């Protein structure tokens, strides 16, 4: 009788532990799935915002770099935006004539405009200032001005 009661108590304790473990696992899984859904929703929302701007950037840059190269540049900018790290954009200089200072400056300005639009933080004022000075450049100033006009139209400048 004592053994049966002891075995029954052990079985009940194990059942409670298993139930508690499964409940914790289910809660953790549900939380994980909720976070995943929030990340997907955020990504979709950011893509909706980025797509029209990407098309604008491609069109603007194609005046200097051509359609194919502009598409590659903007795709690289978009990948960097999604990763949250623009250091990978350095590879874009392989796409252009690296000896052409005007092209390098335009590429740098495009990167700054893109980071300004999609970034946040203390770096924004510095980027804005650098972009403003780029609009004064006799070579790439007109394209930089188009980019700034777009930012103004979106209420970001």
Cβ–Cβ under 8 Å, residues 115 and 77: no
State which residues form the domain around 104: 2-153
CA distance 73 to 29: 39
* Mean pLDDT of the 98-103 span: 88
User: What is the average per-residue pLDDT within 137-155?
Assistant: 90
* Token pair recorded at residue 134: 């780029």
Number of domains in the chain: 1
Could you tell me the pTM of the whole model? 0.69
Average pLDDT of the chain?
Answer: 88
Q: How confident is the model at residue 2 (pLDDT cuts 50, 70, 90)?
A: low
pLDDT, one tens digit per residue, over 11-47 is: 888 888 888 888 888 888 888 888 888 877 776 777 7
């Amino acid at each position: 009788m004592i053994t049966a009661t002891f075995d029954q108590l052990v079985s009940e304790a194990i059942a409670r532990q298993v139930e508690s473990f499964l409940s914790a696992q289910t809660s953790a899984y549900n939380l994980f799935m909720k976070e995943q859904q929030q990340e997907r929703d955020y990504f979709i929302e950011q893509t909706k915002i980025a797509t029209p701007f990407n098309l604008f950037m491609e069109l603007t840059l194609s005046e200097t770099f051509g359609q194919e190269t502009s598409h590659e540049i903007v795709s690289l900018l978009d990948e960097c935006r999604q990763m949250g790290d623009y250091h990978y954009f350095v590879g874009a200089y392989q796409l252009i004539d690296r000896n052409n200072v005007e092209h390098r400056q335009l590429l740098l300005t495009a990167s700054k405009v893109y980071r300004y639009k999609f970034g946040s933080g203390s770096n924004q004022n510095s980027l804005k200032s650098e972009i403003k000075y780029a609009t004064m450049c006799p070579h790439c100033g007109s394209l930089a001005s188009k980019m700034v006009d777009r930012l103004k139209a979106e209420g970001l400048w």
